[in-house]
A and B are shown apart, each in its own frame.
Chain A
Amino acid sequence: MNTSPFHEELLRMKRRRQLYSMAVVAIVAAVIVAGYGQANSMNSGGFLSGLQQFFDYPGEIVVEAWQAGPAFFGLLIRFLPALIETLNIAAVATILGGLAAVIFAFLGASNLNVWPPAVPVARRLMDLLRAFPELIVALFLIFVLGTSPVPAMIAVALHTTGALGKQFSEVNENIDRKAIEGLEAVGASWFQRMKFGVLPQVLPNYLSYFMMRFEINVRASAILGFVGAGGIGSELRRTIGWGQGSGDETAALFLLLIMAIFAIDQASSWMRHRVSGGGLPA
């Protein structure tokens, strides 16, 4: 057999691929360079002048916190309720959104035969819930319901339903059919098949995604507080907006938020490792 045309074909393909890679790298580099130039010109302050004062604000905060001395710990305790409120918003939203996501995920998984006509409907609904930025829903609900943590909670829950629903339904679709077939063979009902064949397979992954989502939602809740939903975000807006003299309070709030995020991060990665037995990439 003559292999030389085959070999040439291979070389040609290789050259073409190299050309493509070079082109992609060149485009990306051009986008980054041009983009930073453009962004710099659109910004109200310049990059170079900003670089000099980059540490001014963090420095100011740290100095004021230092000057506050032992009273700083008092501030930490004073802002604890605000942190708890933010955590509550995130937790309730993750629980409610997560429960809704389980239902959507079962309806939207094509291999579980819950109710075939509902599969595309559930999927589109999840897409829509995901695409809607939480911020918009929260601002709208604040307008109707008034300033309270509940609008933020609802907004985050709706987004969670879309985001977790998609991940859950992917988990559902990747299950091993053998367990279901085995249960079917012994005459198990649909409910029994789900309970003994599907849930044990999907629950560890569900829990792992659920914890990750809780982490994300803590951040989202803190940000929504900034636009008027209460919690640590609204305290931050107050102290930062106040301008001079509240740097110690800002520092206390930053510290609380960072510690909370760090603690949740550690706890959830520990839990994920335990549940998945280290088999899943975290």
Chain B
Amino acid sequence: MAFVPLTADERQAMLEQIGVGSVADLFADIPASVRFPQLDVPPPLTEIQTVAKMSALAAKNQPVGQLACFVGAGYYNHYSPSVVSHLMGRSEFYTSYTPYQPEVSQGTLQYSFEFQSLVCDLFEMDVANSSVYDGASGAAEAVLMALRISRRDRVVLDGSVHPEHRAVVAAYLDGRGIEVVTTNVGIKDGKLNRQSVVEQIDGETACVVIQQPDFFGTIRDLAAIVAKAREVGALVVYVVGDPVSLGLLKTPGGWDADIAIGEGQGLGLPLQYGGPGVGIMTCKTAHLRQLPGRIVGQTTDHDGRRGFVLTLQAREQHIRREKATSNICTSQTLLALGATIYLAAMGPAGLKQAAGLSHKQTRAVADQIRRVDGYRVVNDGPFFDEITVTCPADGDTMRHELAKRGIIGGYALGREYPGLENALVLCATEMTTSEEIDRLVSGLREIGGAR
């Protein structure tokens, strides 16, 4: 396919204007020994052929809908109203770029301001940026922020923070001489068994990172952790497990978090095999100047009309270079738009329903699994839309067996949590049907009975 509109005559006229004999002459600065190499790329396909090829690849996958989805673990199969994809699909949004020129970018700037506002309302936090790459890099940026604010060099990570978030924090901190302490989580007497986070927080601690609902699905009373952090001057970095949970649950602001982050994919964005989603990042006003990434502010033009601009850019890499708060340059603007449309369309009533129905269906899953021999729900407190279940076989075998029955059977904990090889984290949402729950439970019964 040709997306170059120049005709042969036009190319010739342009070369004459430039004063060179051929297009090849334009590349004379490239050393001759390596110029115009052989390219091991197949010849072009037509659009018809390309669509056929890609359709064939797509057909080798089984998306949710074909399969009953009982996995969450950071990415959630929540319903997205039709308006979300239709409005995100407007090319005036998706074929624009960073709003460097505010006069011709008020659409992008206004929805970014609205995204920040909605996130602040949802999280009950003071300020938000207009997104970072994902929840995990948000966690890493939050920890870096806490290190700058506290000028301390010790970080306490709760072991039930998403393993991928913890891994990204570790990669970002590597080589900086920071002590990272991660608490253990195991299973004892049929319940999750946690090493105390509170005891790990001391006067050297820059921040404690906690997640709610946590990776095992449990909702915990965080008061003691926050109180200890306050007592010793450590910051509380709060990871929101599933943003839809905030339709019901007490918020990061309600728990008095200093910095709160989360993966926003659950807010109406497609699963897309894990990306792109959108990283949400918020903090208290006192920490605003340490908040990395893009921030949109409201102002006025010379006639007093309201308008929006990128602001507080003096913290950023294009001005501060090696002294910047972060190297982050782009944001997830289009996905932030999707989340903004979702929250606008759902409103408080719709979001409460999404949260309530997700919780209700998960409760149904838990109730039924409790009646199946060989399985046990091991959460150490109330849960929202995920539960941790021990099984008669290891998690990978369970998932493989359930896949044969048309079911995505949860997240296997074994890789990240030695000792929990037989445990799965299962998730249900408002998309989960009773028929699917029946299918899951009979699948579990069959697999259990076969052992």
Same complex for A and B? Answer: no
Chain B interfacial positions (CB closer than 8 Å to A): none
